[in-house]
Amino acid sequence: MTTTLDYEQVTAFATAVRRSLVDLGPDSLDDLTDGLEADLADKLADGEPLGDAAAYAAELRAAAGVAPATRPTIAVNVRANLADLRSRFAPFVAHPIVVEVTAFFVALRPVWWVLRAWGLFFILAGFHTVPSNPYDPWLLIALLVLSVQWGRGRWLPWKWSRGAVIVLSVVALLALPTAASYLVQKITYVDDMDPNDFIPTGLLLNKQQVTNIFAYGPDGEPLTDVRLYDQSGQPLSLSGAWGEETYWIDEETLLVPSEDAGTEGWNVYPLQTVDYADVTEDGTVPTWAKREQPELPFASVHQLRGYEAPVDDNK
Amino acid sequence: MDTTQLLKGVLDVAVLAVIRDEDGYGYDIVRRLRAAGIEEVGDASVYGTLRRLYSGGMLSTYVVPSDGGPHRKYYGINDQGRAMLTDHRKSWEQFAGIMSGLLSDTKPRTARVRAIGEKA
């Protein structure tokens, strides 16, 4: 007769036995321990103690002729496979070209050590490619020293150190493409911000943008609606604003192209202005917007020497 | 002499023998072995042996549900198992005869030894 107490004891014992045999895999384990509870319950009912589960599992394993569990199976397998690979590729590895190429990359190992340090720095410094606070330089130096020492086979005090270095190396390797792209972006950004390297389009005078042109006639009086071309017949565009509706010159004023010159509206000088308040939200200039002549730099300039006022035929 | 050492070599045959006439489940087979006089056998050894014989194709197996408890796994001998049992019985009888002769005081040992090794 099986009591509840017996059954709990049996279940616990069977679970412990299965746990000891878990390395066999689910199928073999089932084969070996199917019906175990019933047998154990009978054993208890016969007045026999269940004994030690681990010893019981070992006896079961030995009698069934299945291999005892070995802990470092993965490491052993990997090592065996590597040795096998090595022997297979031995003739290939011995080839002079392969030897030469291998030597080349071995010579490059220090570069990898530095890159590994940088990859780890990138992660530890919160995705900064270069030191960005007072501690970062020390972190970078520390990682550099560590990485180089690891590369030289030093500073690996524990058995698992080599494994840890491999893991860190993989992490660093995975971080490198991102770090590199961050760095490239950073460099490009810096370039864009450097006023010495920035070349604006349009017409420049002493590296300053010319935004408008004021022409004066031989009589010294301002001209309007002047159209200008360069030596090859290109209309002069000051701001590079071809195709644009407007060009900002300050917070309240916009330059606009002439409406009377077709596609060469930007080549009618001086460019007229409209008030910012008149421009619609999407940046277009409504036809009713009031166009004004810009403020002249000079009301008039000196007449050209020898200028003669045209003779008025009607006089 | 400790019979557990002797038993290791013959447990396979002993297990096959006790289910030759009637199928049995794990602990039932242990009981039969003990009833036959093999007292020292551990139940785990018997179950492991059953599993090995089953893997070797000597046994068939089936599960019988139980009303008030866990199911029982029954083992039965098949043709291959019977053939193995017959084989083993013959070699056992021969071996046992030789051992009996060797160990008994009444017969000359040397003659027997020559018979085994077929040196004579």
DSSP B26-82: HHHHHHHHHHTT--S--HHHHHHHHHHHHHTTSEEEEEE--SSS--EEEEEE-HHHH
Instruction: Tell me the C-alpha distance between A275 and A135, whole Å.
Output: 52
Please answer whether residues B59 and B18 qualify as being in contact, where contact means their C-beta atoms are separated by less than 8 angstroms.
no
Q: Cβ A32–B48 below 8 Å, yes or no?
A: yes
Q: Compute CA distances B67 → A2, A8, A37, A130, B64, whole Å.
A: 12, 17, 14, 73, 10
Instruction: Tell me the C-alpha distance between A13 and A44, whole Å.
Output: 12
User: Average pLDDT, whole number, for chain A?
Assistant: 82
| Widest CA span in chain A | 147
Instruction: Tell me the C-alpha distance between A300 and A216, whole Å.
Output: 7
pLDDT at A77: 67
| DSSP-derived secondary structure for A33-84 | HTTHHHHHHHHHHTT-----HHHHHHHHHHHHTPPPP-TTHHHHHHHHHHHH
Kindly list the averaged pLDDT for each block of 10 residues, start to end, along chain B of length 120.
Answer: 71 90 91 88 90 90 81 91 90 89 70 51
Q: Note the pTM of the prediction, 2 decimals.
A: 0.42
Q: A52 touching B, CB under 8 A?
A: no
What is the DSSP-derived secondary structure letter of residue A256? E
Q: Cβ B44–A38 below 8 Å, yes or no?
A: no
Q: How do residues A73-86 score in pLDDT, each as one tens digit?
A: 566 667 767 777 77
Of A55-59, A184-188, A191-195, A278-282, which has the strongest mean pLDDT?
A55-59
Q: Cβ A41–B28 below 8 Å, yes or no?
A: no
Q: Cβ A37–B66 below 8 Å, yes or no?
A: no
Q: How do residues A116-168 score in pLDDT, each as one tens digit?
A: 999 999 999 988 888 888 899 999 999 999 999 999 888 888 888 888 999 99
pLDDT at A194: 56
User: Average pLDDT, whole number, for chain B?
Assistant: 83
Q: How do residues A1-10 score in pLDDT, each as one tens digit?
A: 445 667 788 8
Please, is B7 exposed, middle or buried when counting C-beta atoms within 10 Å of its C-beta (0-12, 13-18, 19+)?
middle
Q: Cβ B47–A36 below 8 Å, yes or no?
A: yes
Instruction: Tell me the C-alpha distance between A40 and A173, whole Å.
Output: 55
How many domains does one find in chain B? 1
Dihedrals φ, ψ of B75, to 5°?
-120, 140
Q: Which domain holds residue B63?
A: 3-117
Residue B60 sits in a domain of what CATH number? 1.10.10.10
Q: How many CB pairs under 8 A join A and B?
A: 80
Instruction: Tell me the C-alpha distance between B10 and B26, whole Å.
Output: 18
Dihedrals φ, ψ of A242, to 5°?
-60, 130
SS3 content of chain B, % helix, strand, coil (to 5): 60, 10, 30
pLDDT at A196: 56
- Chain B residues within an 8 Å CB radius of A49: none
- Chain B residues within an 8 Å CB radius of A60: 44-45, 47-48
pLDDT at B116: 55
- Chain B residues within an 8 Å CB radius of A7: 69
pLDDT at B120: 44
Please, is A143 exposed, middle or buried when counting C-beta atoms within 10 Å of its C-beta (0-12, 13-18, 19+)?
buried
Please answer whether residues A31 and A24 qualify as being in contact, where contact means their C-beta atoms are separated by less than 8 angstroms.
no
SS3 content of chain A, % helix, strand, coil (to 5): 50, 5, 45
At A191, the pLDDT band (50, 70, 90 cuts) reads low
Q: Cβ A59–B46 below 8 Å, yes or no?
A: no
Q: Which of A172, A174, A187 lies closest to A130 in space, CA to CA? A: A187
Of A80-84, A209-213, A244-248, B1-5, which has the strongest mean pLDDT?
A209-213
More confident residue, A249 or A179: A179
Contacts 24+ apart (CB under 8 A), A188-197: none
How many CB atoms within 10 Å of residue B4?
13
Q: In what order do the strands lie in the sheet with B24-25?
A: B24-25, B72-77, B59-64
